[in-house]
Structure 1
Amino acid sequence: MKNFIAFALLLCSAAAVFGSVSVSAEDVRHQPLKDLNGYFPFDPPASLEQWETRKQYVRRQILVATGLWPMPTKTPLNPVVHGKIQRDGYTVEKVYFESAPGFFVTGNLYRPTNIEGKVPGVMLAHGHHKDARLDMTPENRLRSLIADGAERFERAGRSTYQSQCRQLALMGCVVWQWDMLGDSDSIQLSRELVHGFAKQRPEMNKTKHWGLFSPQAEAHCQNVMGLQTLNAVRGLDFLLSLPEVDPQRVAVTGASGGGTQTMILAAIDDRIKLSFPVVMVSTAMQGGCTCENASLLRVNTGNIEFAALAAPRPQGMNTADDWTKELATKGFPELQQLYAAYGKQGDVFLKRGEHFPHNYNAVTRSAFYTFLNKHFKLGFQAPVIEHDFDPLPPVQLTVWNDQHPAPKAADPDFERNLLAWFTEDAEQQLSAAASTPEGLKTVILPAAEVIIGRTYANAGDVQWAPQHEQDRGDYVQHTGTLLNQTHGEEVNVVWLCPKHPSGRVVIWIDDSGKSAVYSDDGSVNPAVRKLVQAGTTVVGADLFLQNGEAVKQTRVVGNPREFAGYTFGYNHALFAQRTHDVLSLVRFLRHANSGPCPNRDLKTVAIAGWRDSGPIAAVAGGIAGDAVDRIAIDTQGFRFGQVLDYRDPMFLPGGAKYLDLPGLIALHAPRPLWLAGEGSQPELISTAYHAASETNALVTFTGEAAQQQAAASEWLLK
């Protein structure tokens, strides 16, 4: 990035001296895609004020990516608690409840035998060990762990999950240990689907009744990561519904995939007062399972920053002989710096353990107990260590029995119906939000900014690098490149600058790039000429990858599994990148001190978008807000929800969730909008303009396609 900026400055300096310069700096978007094995550092902001702004954005990013913005309606949990087992000093019960209608969360509840007053609550998430809650460690494996110092006891070591839950209950805590999807008693979605998905399923890739991992699911932010996160949030609801649990002393911990769940829950839910993610906080590998990834989730962020979102609440973590082994020097010092800014440097803790493999061993568990004991003031002697005991056999822990029959396992209809419920629930909430200016501003726009991955405020510092200038009689043609120095991006543009400018500028966006301002014979496009002759400056642009052969399929990372989240969880979609270019154009027009038409007195900025670039212009204009005065677009009836290939250039994760393209177009209200391709009365958009008391600002065009641009030009001149 620094090299790009330096080169860009050199170009601008050379242009000032020589008047023209050849541009050859490479747009950073041509570089190899980032994947889960990339490098994800965290740079704490200079002030807590800056951090709070960033914190709110990243938290929103997590919620949007996991389908929890807005939070799905919290329907009754209908908890069933049964089969109490009395143990020495604690009890174990079997629990299931519904995080969404008919969608069961299963697990065990551990409670101290004699509870007086309010006691702490602890949520324990597990990783990818098969049948984790019900599993027993084989003897040969256990003996190796004992020999290495990772475990201490031949009996208790058979079930580390029971060991941890038992110890916490003996320390006076109520413990909820639940199943990840496809594990132990969670059988409604198969383990093979949830954690092993590899190939797209044609029967689930449809515009209606779709399944997980399909482009439709991705366009609606429906993913396994989100389902598991919802289960965690509803599990916290369940835990706090118990009258004995102290809401001021609730903790969450877990290792590997459970460490990911721990970070995410603490990041998005302030009801968690202490967290201890194990073998997952790292600047390196971010989590390899499909259940730890989601489109949009880690674009321009990562696990260290996710952990940072818990600050200044107490948080512990560890290192092991895995991707966390460099945490002591990469990531943890930055977390200490952030906690120090809050005056809480001592509340973030690292347990070193690079000699241990990737697990939640007895040494790390002891560190968690001791950390919890300190911050929840439990009064036990430090360090707190486990004692040996006889674990319960799996048959005594399983939730389902004859009196409590299990739901149907791995039912494709259940999968489809579950996603359909989330879709309907979201549409109801979002339709209500889109019907008011406040809802558009506080719900739809913040989501759109995450989906595109850029706000207008951070669109970047954009500079002009000229190439050629030619007098064309009543206007001057300029060609050159806009250099976005903040993001390392470039946009090749052509300016048609009238010699008697009116102060109006129109950005003309089309699939053919900047050549769209011309006709096939080289003359100026008649609709564009009408604008120029009226004194309007017209800017044509090659949006990213528009200056060559049309893109048929976008790039994806090298991971062979056909999961969009492995690519778009770390990289912007092409649609978003092209939207960034439009934002760069608007930003330059509004903030540049110089340019191809320095004598113009800027009065209005408008965007005109055609063909597949119409939706791009529409989304960019919605995000740009008042920086764009008016917009003319033809959507051709496009819908993100109709895209059935996650490599399609028009694929946009989350694009269909927020009432699809009409929901994003509604963000233009109350600004003037000329709209083709949506019929004469586009209900959702009309409602937004009516709510803003600007019904006359919406003009819908239903005439012949050949007349669109001419009609739009006349409207743009009003």
Structure 2
Amino acid sequence: MLRQHRYLRTSLKGVSGASLRPGTTRSLCLLIATLASVASAFGEPLKALPAGAQPNDQRLQPLLDLNGYFPFAPSTSPIEWNQRAAHVRRRILVSQGLWPMPRKTPLNAVIHGKLERDTYTVEKVYFESFPGFYVTGNLYRPRTTSGRVPAVLCPHGHWANGRFHDKGAAQTLAEIKRGEEQFPDSGRSHLQARCVTLARMGCVVFHYDMIGYADSTQISFDLAHRFAVQRPHLNQPSGWGLFSPPAESHLQSVMGLQTYNSLRAVDFLQSLPDVDADRLAVTGASGGGTQSFILAAIDPRIKVSVPAVMVSTAMQGGCTCENACGLRVGTGNVEFAALVAPRPQALTAANDWTLEMKTKGFPQLQQHYQMLGAGKRIYLHSRVEFGHNYNLPSRLAMYHWLNKHLQLGVQEPIVETDFQRLTTAEMTVWNEAEHPQPKGGEAFEQQLLQSWHDDSQHQLAALTPRDANGWKSYRRVVGGALATIIGRELPDAKHISYERTTKADRGSYIEIVGRVSNRLHQEELPVAFFHPKDWNGQVVIWADPAGKQSLYGPSGDPQTDVSRLLDAGMSIVGVDLLQQGEFLKDGKPPKRARKVANPRAAAAYTFGYNHALFAKRVHDLLTMVVFVRNHEEQPQAVYLVGLNGAGPWVAAARAQAGSQVTRAAIDSQKFRFGEVGDLLHPSFLPGGAKYGDLPGFLSLSAPHALWLSGEGTSPELIQAAYAATNAADALTLYNGTMPTSAAIDWLLQDRETD
């Protein structure tokens, strides 16, 4: 009885002034509510908060969007950074649909139409990144070389017409007057200017198209960069299109395609006989800057990078081609640039969103590089008197940086000299006679996404575990991906606290209501406990769409299924997950999730910066697992129950919780993320369908005890995971019509052995 009483004392702790918030109106209200509730009549469920109040939870604040603040906090040691870098790099790859990486198919590169200039040549190039999907561009080469030479990738960015950009005579003359350019004609294309000068410096240069620009028209400019309204006819379980719920559920995006094009462009350069594969660089501005730092962050083959006017703690990229679901959740462009370290990297800043980079972002990157022993390998060229640009002063800084770190040996100072500007006809790679333009349009878009999907599913199917080694590989790929998609592991217990609000003696048990907080993330959860006076050391965390109210019957006493557990000596915890119970001002559950103010119907504008509501509810369950498991009374067993529609949340939480959950009882109701047809449905989860859908989450329960309803009698992937971990007996499958009652039966059997 002593142990029982200690548990009650510590669980009910929170009435004292020390645990309230002195001097606040809210604390006074809570104290009044506490005193009133002690005399609460049986049958009146207690509340964690005063009437009309909501939890003190930062997730109720406005959502983060691309115009937010994205600081970078440097790690204190290389070991700490390596761990963080692995998570951030995986986040990029998962968000781009490149985890696992698509199997590389032949490039089938075509190089034709050589043009001779004084000291360099220009050729036309196209190759296939995916079968039938073409990357297009121009290849600049020095006319005379000795041996293999460095190569530079030049993504063009969001300048009008991309690779074919011509700013016009009037704008060029104005820029000459401001000191941004120097030649009236060649200055009309700063894109060609950097390619020509780099070729004159001795580099092979590939100037390639963004999707939808110049010769890359299989996916249109309007779709790739101006998408605004969903296309219902392409929101289908098969044959879906970009930006649709199925595409986002499988992590397929324009940005992902564009990133993969950049990776294949590196493959292309490495295939050229005159290129030194160990001296590759990338430089681009604006959207091309985004392409540059993303590529350098994930591809170690890039030895030097110069992303211009894009890396900052402010605006992260406004185009749909710069955003992907899950990409910048908990991170941002400055940290992406940090992934390049210790490789050399130069940045530029201007009078745009990079305006404050000199004081916000760059000092942290300097600290980061210094921590890695590479303090001289990071540089910022800040010329904030100029607007958004890749002008002559910025290009000169870039030439110096590449000259130094690619070891070109060009005499300094490097200057640009005039050149004969290429016309569109001289640049275009297509001609009807020998190089006809490939077909595009919606049918091609559907075919491309299906091919991408088929490849990833083939690879994932091959990972189905058959033994211990197979389980290890499966866990790394699928477990790693789902950890990124959910975005939260078990929190550290030091960040979890509890404050009791009210209690009532109900005879054989105590009803306790309070708030569990995750202080690190500023989250607060209303919770209710039914704690038997003859407690057996076991705790059930009960998740339900109705929140903690689901513990109660119509008369306010414990509902029948909860009573069975309570009578057996188990303590039951009910919780209001985000947007349940006391989170709701009007008591009505949301029919749709929140979104950012951006009017364009691209999911990445919201879910590229914020977790989906589904994931946030999983976070809440993980918080509860840590709270219960780390209570000072050390419960002997912790059970996690998800029935009546809560099964998918519990499946995802169980996958992350490992041995901290002794048993889980889940009724999946055969829910599938891939069937959610609304980007703002509360159950929408970016990437949720890609890795085996809900059975993929459930498979990660292995080798721990799982009771499962809703998946039939032979869910292959789940059974394979349990067999591979030698835990087939730990999986109980139920295919009857009374899952709740059967789940309770299972929890009650042999509980003494847990």
**Correspondences of 1:121-160 after superposition (within 5 Å):** 121-160=151-190
SS at match of 1:583: helix
Letter in 2 for 1:507: I
Cα deviation, residue 409, structure 1:
4.8
| Alignment match, 2:488 | 454
| Alignment match, 2:739 | 708
SS at match of 1:133: helix
Structure 1 residues 321 and 256: alpha-carbon distance in aligned structure 2, compared to 1, 3 A threshold: same
Does residue 295 of structure 1 match 2:325?
A: yes
Match of 1:614 among 647, 655, 663: 647
| Alignment match, 2:682 | 649
Cα deviation, residue 109, structure 1:
1.0
| Equivalent pair of 2:551/2:574 in contact (CA under 8 Å) | yes
SS at match of 1:92: strand
- Distance in 2, Cα, partners of 1:430 & 1:472: 52
| Equivalent pair of 1:434/1:663 in contact (CA under 8 Å) | no
| Alignment match, 1:228 | 258
**Correspondences of 1:69-468 after superposition (within 5 Å):** 69-435=99-465, 436-457=470-491, 461-468=495-502
Q: How many residues align?
A: 703
- Distance in 1, Cα, partners of 2:599 & 2:298: 31
SS at match of 1:336: helix
| Alignment match, 2:6 | none
Query: Identity, % of aligned pairs?
Result: 50
Cα deviation, residue 460, structure 1:
7.0
Cα deviation, residue 88, structure 1:
1.4
- Distance in 1, Cα, partners of 2:496 & 2:460: 34
Structure 1 residues 10 and 95: alpha-carbon distance in aligned structure 2, compared to 1, 3 A threshold: farther
Cα deviation, residue 10, structure 1:
5.9
| Equivalent pair of 1:254/1:276 in contact (CA under 8 Å) | yes
Range that drifts further, 79-88 or 221-230: 79-88
| Equivalent pair of 1:367/1:383 in contact (CA under 8 Å) | no
| Alignment match, 1:46 | 76
Match of 2:556 among 522, 525, 545: 522
Letter in 2 for 1:288: G
Cα deviation, residue 362, structure 1:
1.0
SS at match of 1:282: coil
Structure 1 residues 408 and 239: alpha-carbon distance in aligned structure 2, compared to 1, 3 A threshold: closer
Cα deviation, residue 468, structure 1:
1.4
SS at match of 2:680: coil
Range that drifts further, 144-153 or 324-333: 144-153
Cα deviation, residue 672, structure 1:
1.1
Letter in 1 for 2:79: E
- Distance in 2, Cα, partners of 1:412 & 1:502: 61
| Equivalent pair of 1:284/1:323 in contact (CA under 8 Å) | yes
SS at match of 1:88: coil
| Alignment match, 2:43 | none
| Equivalent pair of 2:431/2:437 in contact (CA under 8 Å) | no
Letter in 1 for 2:651: A
| Equivalent pair of 1:508/1:609 in contact (CA under 8 Å) | yes
Cα deviation, residue 229, structure 1:
0.3
Match of 2:588 among 528, 536, 549: 549
| Equivalent pair of 1:315/1:349 in contact (CA under 8 Å) | yes
Letter in 2 for 1:360: Y
- Distance in 2, Cα, partners of 1:453 & 1:244: 44
Range that drifts further, 383-392 or 282-291: 383-392
| Equivalent pair of 2:516/2:526 in contact (CA under 8 Å) | yes
SS at match of 1:212: coil
SS at match of 2:558: coil
SS at match of 1:273: strand
Cα deviation, residue 123, structure 1:
0.4
| Alignment match, 2:531 | 497
**Correspondences of 1:9-48 after superposition (within 5 Å):** 11=19, 26-48=56-78
- Distance in 2, Cα, partners of 1:152 & 1:368: 17
SS at match of 1:177: strand
Q: CA RMSD in A?
A: 1.9
| Alignment match, 1:558 | 597
| Alignment match, 2:661 | 628
Match of 2:704 among 651, 666, 671: 671
- Distance in 2, Cα, partners of 1:236 & 1:377: 19
| 1:371-411 CA distance string (max 9 Å, x none) | 11111221122231210011121111111113443444541
- Distance in 2, Cα, partners of 1:695 & 1:158: 68
| Alignment match, 1:3 | none
Cα deviation, residue 20, structure 1:
5.1
- Distance in 1, Cα, partners of 2:494 & 2:348: 37
Structure 1 residues 492 and 406: alpha-carbon distance in aligned structure 2, compared to 1, 3 A threshold: farther
- Distance in 1, Cα, partners of 2:263 & 2:112: 22
| Equivalent pair of 1:459/1:583 in contact (CA under 8 Å) | no
Cα deviation, residue 416, structure 1:
0.6
Structure 1: tracts of 5 or more residues without a match: 1-7
| 1:64-123 CA distance string (max 9 Å, x none) | 111111111111111111112222122111111111111110011111122212211100
Structure 1 residues 372 and 427: alpha-carbon distance in aligned structure 2, compared to 1, 3 A threshold: same
Q: How does the TM-score come out when normalised to structure 1?
A: 0.95
Letter in 2 for 1:643: V
Structure 1 residues 457 and 383: alpha-carbon distance in aligned structure 2, compared to 1, 3 A threshold: farther
- Distance in 2, Cα, partners of 1:9 & 1:694: 49
Structure 1 residues 404 and 185: alpha-carbon distance in aligned structure 2, compared to 1, 3 A threshold: farther
| Alignment match, 2:567 | 533
Letter in 2 for 1:703: G
**Correspondences of 1:570-609 after superposition (within 5 Å):** 570-593=609-632, 598=633, 601-609=634-642
Q: How does the TM-score come out when normalised to structure 2?
A: 0.91
| Equivalent pair of 2:169/2:185 in contact (CA under 8 Å) | no
Structure 1 residues 10 and 227: alpha-carbon distance in aligned structure 2, compared to 1, 3 A threshold: farther
| Equivalent pair of 1:460/1:484 in contact (CA under 8 Å) | no
| Alignment match, 1:4 | none
Structure 1 residues 408 and 240: alpha-carbon distance in aligned structure 2, compared to 1, 3 A threshold: closer
